[in-house]
Amino acid sequence: MEALTEAAINPFDQIRYPSMVHESLHPARLSVFACLHDRPFAPASRCRLLEIGCGDGMNLMSIAATAPQSQFVGFDLASTTIATGRAMAAAAGLTNVELSVMDILNTPASLGEFDYIVAHGVYAWVTAPVREALMRLIGHMLAPNGLAQISYNAMPGCRIRHIVRDILQDCLANVSDTATRLAAAKEWLDLFAAKWSEADPLQNAMRHRVQELLLFPLEVIFHDEMGEIYEPQFVSDVAADAKRHGLQYLCDAQPVCGCEALIPSEERSLLRERVGEDFVRFEQEYDFATLLPFRSSLLCRDGGTIDRSAAWTRVHKLHARGRFVPVSADESAPGRFEFRTHENGRAATSESVIADLLGRIGAAEPHSVSLATQIANQEIAETVLRLFQIGALSLQTEPFPFALTPGERPVASPLARLQAANGENNLASLRHAMVEINDANTRYFISLLDGTRTRRDLVIEMARFIGAPAEAIATELNETLNRLAHMALLTG
Amino acid sequence: MNALKDVASVNAYDRVRYPGVPQPSSHPATMGALACLYGRDFASPSRCRVLEVGCGDGANLLSMAATSPQSQFVGFDLAETAIAHARATADAAGLTNVELLVMDIRDASVSLGEFDYIIAHGVYAWVPAPVREALMLLISRTLAPSGLAFVSYNAMPGSRVRQIVRDILLDRIRCGTEVSDKFAVAKECMEFYAGAWAGQDPVRKAMREEMVETLQRPPAVLFHDEMGEIFEPQFVSHVAAHAAKHGLQYLCDCRPALSTEAFFPSEGKGDLRQRANGDWVRCEQLHDYVNLTRFRRTVLCRDDGAIDRRTECTRLQHLHAQGRFRQEEPKKPNSDAFVFLADESGNPVSTTNATLAKLIGRIGAADPSAIPLQGAITGREIGEAILRLFLGGLLSLLTEPFVFTLTPGERPLASALARTQASRGETSLSTLRHTVVEVTDPESRHFITLLDGTLTRGELATEMARFTNAPTAAVAGQLDDILTRLARTALLIS
């Protein structure tokens, strides 16, 4: 207990975990899975959400900025990150966020009841008693219709990642200074990645893993693979632990593996035959078959069985967003409707009804389209779910509150404004996503959008800031505002 | 201690017999050769004392005992049925130089005496930490001053992939209790996942390879290894540190290839050596990180000063070499290269050094016997070439030649152990080179049982004619051939 509350030795105080927003953790996105399984859920715009191990609270604040009527509570053991978060929340005027320094082992019941509880990157990086306390806390505090999300490195796939940890722990055993550790970790990983042979299957797998790892900021490795505790979990064990606390396993929050029950794939039919009706068993066998390294498990109260049948009308309650740019008729095959999708992907259909729907979704982007009246039959519903599964389309239970047509006195999200003023490159958008603004002039511009300045005022101030003629700025103004609006940074 | 008795009463090895096989690299003549190459003393394999910890059914120990009648062999195991089996075999084969005991490693004491060679194969990574500690303590207390200990274990971090196999198997067999059911379930499960891991994903591809390899192992081996109660793969650096705590030190691995960097430091591994900063064990650990080694057979010796790991070719003079080399005509006419085809795989080996070619030719001609290298290593080039053939697995080095005959006499005599095995209908017979030869047809096995030195060739032909219902003349005509074949597999004594 002393050790845990001893902030001075908390590694998260020494090296800040790179703050980021996790799109999938937004209640409007988490509740999609409740909706698809015909479970009741609280509306994202009026809910209470708790984040356990919230770090500097960036994820929480980003959600809070999209839902001013909802209440957000977050706690973490690292006092410096909580102090940073509090200062930001105050500066951004986010009055619906409460951040505190607290130990999972020592959480007062007075926190109240929550419709959503999220714990990202906690469960597999704490000791067994803390895991137990976390599950107990969820069991105590989750509202009857509540939804909890726990992410963790998954067994047995993560035994491969464990090799990286084995190597780094050993090679860095005598390096205590954190900055030196990071540099040395990179050096060792580069060294081994270069030595591992492509011809040897395991060495090749390790090469890939390390190359993948090196794409992330090194701080992520520091806390994940190199953290003091690293105990990847079996999904079946997590479900069993949840059960002991009056909770049950719903599904995974990652669309790629969260839709298997709803739209059973051909590829997994053998697996389904092996496990019969037990869905947790299916998930475990799925992890054996895919060696999935990461899980984001959704839990709900253990009240009654979950209806995993694919009742397609449930899709009616959802909103869909996605990039679908029609390819001109002469470019696509006759009788086919083709679209360019995210990340230069392509989607094609010969069904004009589906083509119409995708066209409408594409036209509304970045806004979402309500599916209430758009889905006429099961085939269309399944197409939407498949697009969701492969990441071409996102689903949410409510639209996000941002404006595409900025007014005379444009207003940006206060959180993004603050981040821009602080010189950060990654800003939290009102769709609860990260957008990258690398140019200092644009960042300064965003910081000015507090609703007090007219477009004319903005032109004059930017002309002064850049040292350019006002006319030149004025001609670009609409375009810049439009661009920021499409990034979901503006409220009006 | 009570817990221990409980364990003994339901010992998994009593329920499912571990199919023991001779471990060629654990033979004193082979282990000693490595010690010799590293400039260490070693006891003569023909007059030494050997202890095998966890000897199971004695497959390894009895086979070694049969090769060295003047040496003393002691083996113990926790599994009573395995020891009973080993004793029965030893008695039947008249191996009077073997003592077998049912004992827990934690109860073993110095009263066992001092040993020149101690072998613990498949023990260290399959027992709990206190037993690992007891094993290392036992080695340190009973190893002779120039003794060598062989400790094998699954190696980290490469064995994490084996743990994945274990995760899946344990998950599947949690419900079943019947041993035979478990085998069937495990096999089905492994085949299913080997199939499920299709495609190009690098991790799944690596696991597919691992699973396919695992499927080739006998179910009983899998039952005790991956499916065993305890499965704790070890880092070589931890094993070495553990040994150091008990006054022992890491010498080398039994797989010759793992000594390559010691004798011929490569350019490519220079950075690893530099990082290891002269610490050889550290170097080996870094190699395991690169190679992701799954299994190690570590040789330990007493910690009596630093080991001289320089390549010293004169050390080869004390050894004997054995290898299959068949000289070929060079592909290009008028070439000054001598080309040999080595081992069963027919790997070509070529040299332009006539002296070396002559030596390799002599080794090939003597095969399966070994020839002494005394006087044959006339220069560094020859020595390094022989060393490289050894590291490449194309040539065996021994401190003493194995004793068997290639020219059986009028009353042929086969190894008593092989005769016992053949009479029991076993298909894997122990040779006098401490290897295994598969004899699957009942006629050959019956023939071997007859070779006790009492029957003349004529009597053998008569008996085999009776046994096979073939004309005596036909059998007699084949007799020399068959005897020569058996002799070449090192089953016969002069």
- Contact across the interface for B202 and A208, Cβ inside 8 Å: yes
**Distance of residue B187 Cα from the nearest chain A Cα, in angstroms:** 15
Q: How much is the pLDDT for A19?
A: 61
Q: How much is the pLDDT for B359?
A: 96
Instruction: Give residue A250's identity as a one-letter amino acid code.
Output: L
Q: Which residue of B has its CA nearest to A201?
A: B206
Please report the DSSP string for A260-320 in residue order.
TTTS--STTHHHHHHHTT-HHHHHHHHHHHH---EEEEEEEE--S----S--GGGGGG-EE
Residue from B61, B65, B55 nearest B17 by CA: B55
Question: Looking at the structure, do residues A106 and A141 belong to the same domain, yes or no?
Answer: yes
Q: Rounded CA gap, B388 and B396, in Å?
A: 11
Question: Looking at the structure, do residues A139 and A262 belong to the same domain, yes or no?
Answer: yes
Question: Looking at the structure, do residues A32 and A136 belong to the same domain, yes or no?
Answer: yes
Q: Which residue of A has its CA nearest to B288?
A: A167
Q: Residue A419: which domain range?
A: 414-486
Q: How much is the pLDDT for B343?
A: 74
Among the partner-chain residues A159, A171, A289, the one whose CB lies closest to the CB of B193 is A289
Identify the CATH number of the domain in which residue A418 sits: 1.10.10
Name which of B164, B289, B294 to mutate to probe chain A: the one with the most chain A Cβ atoms within 10 A of its Cβ.
Answer: B289
Please report the DSSP string for B28-77 in residue order.
HHHHHHHHHHTT-----TTS-EEEEET-TTSHHHHHHHHH-TTSEEEEEE
**Contact assessment for residue B439 and residue B429, using Cβ atoms and an 8 Å cutoff:** yes
Q: Rounded CA gap, B461 and B481, in Å?
A: 12
Q: Is B202 on the interface with A (CB under 8 A)?
A: yes
Q: Is B264 on the interface with A (CB under 8 A)?
A: no
Q: Which residue of A has its CA nearest to B157?
A: A163
Q: Looking at the 3D structure of chain A, how many domains does it have?
A: 4
Q: Is B235 on the interface with A (CB under 8 A)?
A: yes
Q: Is A153 on the interface with B (CB under 8 A)?
A: no
Among the partner-chain residues B157, B167, B206, the one whose CB lies closest to the CB of A156 is B167
Task: Provide CB contacts within 8 A for B410, sequence distance 6+.
Answer: B456, B457
Among the partner-chain residues A166, A191, A205, the one whose CB lies closest to the CB of B206 is A205
Question: Looking at the structure, do residues A276 and A213 belong to the same domain, yes or no?
Answer: no
Provide the pairing of β-strand A247-252 with B436-438.
Answer: unpaired
Q: ipTM of the predicted structure?
A: 0.87
Q: Which of residues 414-443 of B touch A (CB under 8 A)?
A: none
**Contact assessment for residue A236 and residue A156, using Cβ atoms and an 8 Å cutoff:** no
User: Could you tell me which residues are beta bridge partners of residue B492?
Assistant: B414
Q: Which residue of B has its CA nearest to A159?
A: B160
- Contact across the interface for B209 and A202, Cβ inside 8 Å: yes
Q: How much is the pLDDT for A3?
A: 29
Among the partner-chain residues A159, A204, A270, the one whose CB lies closest to the CB of B163 is A159
Q: Which residue of A has its CA nearest to B283?
A: A171
Token digits for B118? Answer: 């101690």
- Residue stretches of chain A with pLDDT short of 50: 1-9, 11
* A408 domain residue, yes or no: no
Residues of chain B positioned with their CB less than 8 A from the CB of A171:
289
Q: How much is the pLDDT for A271?
A: 84
Question: Looking at the structure, do residues A147 and A171 belong to the same domain, yes or no?
Answer: no
Burial of B468 (0-12, 13-18, 19+ CB in 10 A): middle
3-class DSSP state of A489: coil
pLDDT in tens, A252-288: 999 988 887 778 888 888 888 888 888 999 999 999 9
Last residue of a domain, one of A223, A249, A276: A223
Q: Is B212 on the interface with A (CB under 8 A)?
A: no
Question: Looking at the structure, do residues A120 and A26 belong to the same domain, yes or no?
Answer: yes
Q: How much is the pLDDT for B389?
A: 95
Q: Is B318 on the interface with A (CB under 8 A)?
A: no
Q: How much is the pLDDT for B177?
A: 56
Last residue of a domain, one of A246, A271, A301: A301
Q: How much is the pLDDT for B4?
A: 34
Q: Rounded CA gap, B187 and B189, in Å?
A: 5
Among the partner-chain residues B161, B171, B202, the one whose CB lies closest to the CB of A159 is B161
DSSP letter at B436 equals: E
- Count of CB atoms within 10 A of residue B25's CB? 20
- Count of CB atoms within 10 A of residue A86's CB? 17
Name which of A168, A195, A197 to mutate to probe chain B: the one with the most chain B Cβ atoms within 10 A of its Cβ.
Answer: A195
**b/e per residue B342-369 (b: at least 16 CB within 10 A):** bbeeeeebebebeebbebbeebbebbbb
Q: How much is the pLDDT for A240?
A: 97
Question: Looking at the structure, do residues A322 and A390 belong to the same domain, yes or no?
Answer: yes
Question: Looking at the structure, do residues A85 and A184 belong to the same domain, yes or no?
Answer: no
Q: How much is the pLDDT for A17?
A: 53
Question: Looking at the structure, do residues A326 and A211 belong to the same domain, yes or no?
Answer: no
Last residue of a domain, one of A269, A301, A333: A301
* A409 domain residue, yes or no: no
Question: Looking at the structure, do residues A11 and A83 belong to the same domain, yes or no?
Answer: yes
- Residue stretches of chain B with pLDDT short of 70: 1-11, 13, 15-18, 175-179, 344
Place of tokens 């709990």: B128
Left (φ > 0), alpha (ψ -120 to 50) or beta: where does B39 sit? left
